[in-house]
Structure 1
């Protein structure tokens, strides 16, 4: 089966969340994080590449002092199905004794976030709070894997836009779209 072109996928995609709704959700999460941190600091770790857009917007919604770093680990490598986790870059900031905000675009089955969270805890993080733009609604995934902060829910379809890609394209779209994979 051939992969549809990005323009074909976008043409048949359904708009799931528009830019205004994502902005509202991001600002809400920022306020919730500030409330939880109570003025304390945190290490803000962006999961590349998908969380880049969300993380940038979220960071400006948080008033607490933040130390920024990123991690790049992937199971997709340009496909629509996950495989084995590949570490491209681990955080270079010391996580010992720190509160970590692990920021990602989507919590789908949770394998990637679970592995990154475990890594942070192994590095001595006092706590790791999972912050995701969206959660995919289905019954699959890592047992007891839940995000501490969630922007929006998305259906159990292939979603792209606002940082998420369709075969490495569409991350720059200002909304979230869904297609049947």
Structure 2
């Protein structure tokens, strides 16, 4: 079923059930990889709020949770300029940080976050994203956990927005 958000039409792309199943799998892999550590999961706002919330429901080991707010989009286009808007509120010294993104396309935000966290004396850095667009990715930073590799089309829902709308949709819709 098509939906309209503002001036754009979107079609169903990834169902809510598929997202939840994939997040369970990713959480299990993280629990194996991170073993006895207490990682700091750092969600990138605004988009990652649903991803991090649901991922943490499946992650059963001890952890800490924090958020940073970054901005790089206007409408459906990346501005290619990333601004940090809200900083980290926990001590990450000697801890493994897992950056949790809703989507990685160009990689600009991830690059800025990697530089930000490299200023601290962290034990290690891992990158988790629910959606990854390999066609659009321009950086060399490895993605440690990827929910779905998708084509380079604009998507909305499950935390992702189009001009501040659509974040509340439980599934993913692709621009028609």
Aligned match of 1:13: 10
RMSD of equivalent CA atoms: 1.5
Q: 2:164 aligns with which of 161, 168, 178?
A: 168
Q: Is the 8 A contact 1:121 1:127 kept in 2?
A: no
Shift of residue 54 of structure 1? 0.6
The answer on whether the counterparts of 2:104 and 2:137 sit within 8 Å (CA) in structure 1 is no
Over 3 Å counting, the alpha-carbon distance change for 1:162 and 1:139 in structure 2 is: closer
Establish whether residue 134 from structure 1 lines up as the match of residue 131 from structure 2.
yes
Work out which of the residue numbers 114, 121, 143 in structure 1 matches 2:111.
114
> What residue ranges of structure 2 are gaps of 5+ in the alignment?
none
Equivalent in the alignment of 1:82:
78
Q: Does 2:152 correspond to 1:156?
A: yes
Task: Provide the TM-score with structure 1 as the length reference.
Answer: 0.89
In 2, Cα distance between equivalents of 1:95 and 1:173: 32
Q: Which residue of 2 aligns with 1:95?
A: 92
Runs of at least 4 residues off by over 6 Å: none
List gaps (5 residues or longer) in structure 1: none
Q: TM-score normalised to the size of structure 2?
A: 0.92
Aligned residues: 172
Greater share of strand: 2
**Residue 43 of structure 2 contacts residue 66 of structure 2 at CA under 8 Å; is this kept in 1?**
yes
Distance across 1 between alignment mates of 2:143 and 2:102: 11
Specify whether residues 146 and 162 from structure 1 end up closer, same or farther in structure 2 by C-alpha distance, changes over 3 A only.
Answer: same
Cα distance in 1, alignment partners of residues 96 and 109 from structure 2 = 19
Deviation at 1:74, TM superposition (A): 0.8
| Whole-angstrom CA distance in 2 between matches of 1:66 and 1:140 | 29
Structure 2 residue aligned with 1:25: 22
